[in-house]
Structure 1
Amino acid sequence: MAPDAMRTAAQSLSDARPVSYWLDDPGRPRALPALTGDEHCDLLVVGGGYSGLWTALLAKERDPGRDVVLIEGDEVGWAASGRNGGFCAASLTHGLANGLERWPEEIGTLEKLGARNLDAIEETVARYGIDCEFERTGEIDVATEPHHLDELREWHEELHRRGITGVDFLDRDAVRAEVDSPTFLGGLWDRRGVAMLHPAKLAWGLKRVCLDLGVRMYEHTRGLDLVRSGAGMAVRTPYGRVFAGRVALGTNVFPSLVKRVRSYTVPVYDYALMTEPLTPEQCASIGWKGRQGLGDSANQFHYFRMSADNRILWGGYDAVYPYGGRLSADLDQRPETFLKLAGQFFACFPQLSGVRFSHAWGGAIDTCSRFTAFFGTAHRGRVAYAAGYTGLGVGSTRFGAEVMLDLLAGEETERTRLEMVRSKPMPFPPEPFAWAGIEITKRSLAHADGNGGRRNLWLRTMDRLGLGFDS
């Protein structure tokens, strides 16, 4: 970055609050008391992010008489569910291309279930009056390099051959008529497969609905261990225990209470900026009247969108894996990444020179080697888990909740018959091999971005093995 550009980027960050914009809200609900003593229930849900909240809500909808308890180690929605970009996608497979590569025989079913899942989220938000700024605007994948444009055009042709509709190819003029950036060369607009929302308000709304349905909820109550207890299970917490017939684990990036699951995920830290509200003149300079989500087509990609109050969220690019999978609040702030992101923002939107960022934050995502969630049971079917959403959990966690409830019920359903549900990703190796492999992959992806998209031997080998790494 040139010195003048670096100075401009640094100045834009001078007032940025080191907290997620979504969570920095005076309407944030007060935390509920921690569990003290013992509880008994039919179903215990561990984790108060989207995964756990959807599980508790759907469990009560399936059986209103079921006694459900949810425990959360901090506050509902405080982690990835309150720090993401608010892209709620229909895809259950981290995009159609990834699904086609891994499960070509069942991709039609996966796409159908994903579309049904997004429709159900929209219906639930409306039925329960969850004010999470839900907008079914779709998402545009934009090309910023000539080889991106070729790849998008080829992919659009492939979609047409497969009879998949609702995705439009946009040339340079068409994409810039939607959102005006001199870096945009074209794009693919998925018009119905993605919704934009306020992620923290979704979590808080789900919390309110769960409580209204009779779920007993305890915050600041961490699950410490999981053991058999008679015909059911028991989870120990700092000040008590919960005895339950069945347990659903929605802990995602945090170490699973089923220890054998831990090697399947690693934490990756993702970072984002939020601008101050744009003026009407600034909004006019970029267009963006359709309010679509956007993502560029590089391996190290950015995701960006407009908030309800006309701010721009700008995130992605850097994906930081801490050696040993260490989770630490210290890693939520990374000034070198914020500086890089700010410089890239002004390169994308030079007409917004002078805009300042109000918030800068980061957080950990649970990543698995196939980029999609995986599922399973433990303790003879008394415990179910879902993890590995790899940054696309805003929508697919609801599907994961359905899977966990099916597994706990011992039911064979259209969901549990899926190879995606019955199979596991390849686990990550122990250190130092995990760190070395991830770093080599990241550097190879960055090299490919600067080399016309050409993938080196390492990446081609990872492709053949069905492995990878994605920011």
Structure 2
Amino acid sequence: MADPVHALRDVRYTPFWLDRPDRPEPESALVGDARCDLLVVGGGYSGLWTALIAKERDPALDVVLLEGREIGWAASGRNGGFCEASLTHGLGNGHQRWPGELAALERLGRANLDAMQDAVRRYDIDCDWRRSGSLTVATEPHQVDELREFAALAARYGTTLDVLDRDAVRAEIDSPTFLGGLWDREGVAMLDPARLAWGLKRACLALGVRIHEHSPATDLADGPAALTVRTPYGRVAARKVALATNAFPSLLRRHRPYTVPVYDYALMTEPLTAAQLASVGWRNRQGWADSANHFHYVRLSADNRILFGGYDVVHQYRSRVGDERDRRPETFATLARHFARTFPQLEGVRFSHAWGGAIDTCTRFSAFFDLSHRGRVAYSAGYTGLGVGATRFGAETVLDLLAGERTERTALEMVRRKPLPFPPEPVRSLGIGLTQWSLHRADADAGRRNLWLRTLDRLGLGFDS
């Protein structure tokens, strides 16, 4: 058999979701001075939901949104399109950190996913929204028992997960690597991520949000009457500011130690023929991910391509973010070989697109929140690759905080407490490197966590992916 890397020979190094002829034209950059009630900095999901919900709550509110490049060009336009109900980066992470309020978090997460579905329909957002659920699959013997234990944990919090044996999971998606699975039928929607961002942009504009693209915010200054945010060609004076920059450096320096950017990568195949798709099955079109620490996430697109991403998670020294890191040939080669092992019946299928991008992570693997400037600036970050759904909940929370309201959301310990910050360099990169190495070792050793990982667990810093 030929080296699977040959399937990359004609690949385009650009995110598939953004490579569309109907990609909307950007709004004009901010030039000169502007004033508003609420300024939102960042044009990904976090910023778009914040602007949209702010106008829904108060149509008279004057809202401006600044985006440094184009709406949805970063993580919001290049993720896998898994929209999960979980607000805590999965039930296991939530159970470890907030067992006393996890039932409420799970309920709020399900309500948030339903609200997203309602918004997609209300604003007629054509993003291939499918409430098809997702599978978590076991590819090693020890993971089969772990999936059963996870199903029992989910049942304690009111979630029913279908436990599938080897034959049942392969009847859904046929891979010789699958030994068992869990099917979450209700808690995950699959969607086209870029089209969701573009649809939210259109909805914001229709409600009167003023959007300026190619307008990076360069600094934030406090004044007696207003906060001022500068861009290369102008400035905005605002009564309140919501920061939604996530993987990119915050305008508030004191927040920067709480997140680091990590790079994730994905491949997209050419469209499968009817015979190729039949050889895999996949009639129910669920997304799926395996159970390893360094896991893959996989799904079908509307035109029957397979997205195959994940596994490598790359942190750059000093947490650098740049376009040159979006392409990593060694990771693309690894993914191509893993794809061939997962779906040997698809030998000969080529990849059309390969890309990467930065996501923000924090030491507790789920979003955190904060206020500054006497309650006039609010911030959320740390979504760690699970922000397609959770960012809408984050937007609601940020707006509650800016309004000074005590709500069920703002009363949560998850909202009131921040994670531990990352240490400065070089300790930061050494620690992340040791953690990544240890997670690889655990995957190769039946899931056994070494002393370093067990120490992180005891400190509440336990990374599980």
TM over 0.5: yes
1 CA distance for matches of 2:216 and 2:159?
45
1:26-45 CA distances to partner (integer Å, 9 max, x unpaired)?
A: 11000111000000000000
Alignment of 1:297-312 (within 5 A): 297-312=291-306
2:27 to 17, 32, 38: 32
> Normalization by structure 2: what TM-score?
0.99
2 CA distance for matches of 1:459 and 1:194?
29
1:375-433 CA distances to partner (integer Å, 9 max, x unpaired)?
A: 01110000000000000000000000001100000000000000000000110000000
Gapped runs of 5+ residues in structure 2?
Answer: none
Residue identity matched to 2:208: G
Matched, 1:340 2:334: yes
- How far does residue 165 in structure 1 lie from its aligned partner after superposition? 3.5
Alignment of 1:232-381 (within 5 A): 232-381=226-375
2:217, 2:230 within 8 Å by CA — same for their partners in 1? yes
1:70 to 65, 71, 91: 65
2:453, 2:463 within 8 Å by CA — same for their partners in 1? no
1:172 to 166, 172, 176: 166
Residue identity matched to 2:418: K
- How far does residue 163 in structure 1 lie from its aligned partner after superposition? 5.7
2:360, 2:385 within 8 Å by CA — same for their partners in 1? yes
Give secondary structure in 2 for the equivalent of 1:438: helix
Where does residue 397 of structure 2 map in the other structure? 403
- How far does residue 330 in structure 1 lie from its aligned partner after superposition? 0.8
2 CA distance for matches of 1:155 and 1:29?
42
Where does residue 150 of structure 2 map in the other structure? 155
1:198-238 CA distances to partner (integer Å, 9 max, x unpaired)?
A: 00000000000000000001000010100112222110110
Residue identity matched to 1:225: D
Where does residue 218 of structure 1 map in the other structure? 212
List structure 1 segments (4+ residues) > 3 angstroms apart after TM superposition: 468-471
Matched, 1:388 2:366: no
1 CA distance for matches of 2:184 and 2:111?
16
- How far does residue 158 in structure 1 lie from its aligned partner after superposition? 3.1
Where does residue 129 of structure 1 map in the other structure? 124
1 CA distance for matches of 2:94 and 2:125?
31
1 CA distance for matches of 2:69 and 2:9?
29
> Normalization by structure 1: what TM-score?
0.98
2:12 to 17, 35, 38: 17
Where does residue 424 of structure 1 map in the other structure? 418
Residue identity matched to 2:134: E
2 CA distance for matches of 1:50 and 1:270?
18
2:40, 2:244 within 8 Å by CA — same for their partners in 1? yes
Give secondary structure in 1 for the equivalent of 2:407: coil
Where does residue 75 of structure 2 map in the other structure? 80
CA-based RMSD:
0.9
**Equivalent pairs, count:** 465
Gapped runs of 5+ residues in structure 1?
Answer: none
Where does residue 47 of structure 1 map in the other structure? 42
2:199 to 205, 212, 216: 205
2 CA distance for matches of 1:45 and 1:53?
8
2 CA distance for matches of 1:218 and 1:468?
40
